[in-house]
Amino acid sequence: MYQKSIEEAKKRLFNGELVIFPTETVYGIGGNANNNASVELIYKTKNRPFNNPLICHFANIDEIEKNFILKDKDYELANTFWPGPMTLILEKNKESKISSLLSNQKSFVGCRIPNNETALDLLSKLDFPIAAPSANIATRTSITSIKDLDNNLKNIFYIDGGSSVLGLESTVLKTNTKGCDILRLGSLTVEQIKNKFKDYFIEIINTKMSPGSQKKHYAPNKKIRINALDVNENEALLNFGQNNLTSNIKSLNLSIKSDLVEASYNFYNFINILDQTECNTIAVVPIPNHGLGKTINDRLKRASYNDG
């Protein structure tokens, strides 16, 4: 059954269609990165603006080298964190066949090698990389389980790979002479990078070069109220750690043990569950702002942004 799914996905991708597949971070909705029509279809299907770039997924670094220029620090990070939840912003070389639609006609593209057996199996059977943002409608929550897939995407062929092991998107990096800039916080933490590269100067910046940089993003249909110290009558509760808070609608705890790894794993799934309740708002208690908590808080800030 598994190999049939892989072969069907391969066939559809070759035909220019889209496929939803698992990675270790979140599920992706992918198409042939060399095919303009496929890339355009991703944007159209997600209702995603073209100025929000896509990430390109590869089977191995050899395939990346065929399309991109890698500098010394790119290799340092790649050799340490790939396969894994890191996306490197790299400059295309002259031989690259990757569609310019991926990155809003710019020469810099986010590249990564996912640490997921199904994703790597699929990528290894293709002679092109897969352009794949998260499998959701633009600005909505990412999904870590097929059961949370938006109804508008259920007609697309998917491979069910169970729950994503990490639960938060990849960390987007761009190297420089001093170290690297973090363009999007993700499953690879600042602390993990500093632990491996103590001499790196690391700065967190916001730029349209990275996906997920919009003020309003990762949002459920219901409103989000962050840093809640109480729960109103019409609110569901996304809790963390031990306290006396509860909701008369529904309460879910990201991690009773205050474990940020467990919280990351549960994050999108629990928000999607609470989003299906009869609440008006989802109240979220304060999350510690370090390690993966910094990434969770970034997602909550964007999810709760009031755009008018």
The predicted model scores a pTM of 0.95
pLDDT recorded at residue 308: 41
What tens digit of pLDDT does each residue of 41-71 get?
999 999 999 999 999 999 999 999 999 999 9
Residue 307 has pLDDT above 60, yes or no: no
What tens digit of pLDDT does each residue of 112-130 get?
999 999 999 999 999 999 9
The average confidence (pLDDT) of the chain is 95
- Render the burial of 135-157: b for 16+ CB within 10 Å, e for the rest: bbebbbbbbbbbebbeeebeeee
Mean pLDDT throughout 291-301?
97
Strands 171-175 and 86-92: parallel
* Helices and strands, counts by H and E, the chain: 8, 15
pLDDT recorded at residue 213: 65
What tens digit of pLDDT does each residue of 173-190 get?
999 999 999 999 999 999
* β-pair partners for 284: 238
Domains of the chain: 2-204 (3.90.870.10), 223-303 (3.40.50.11030)
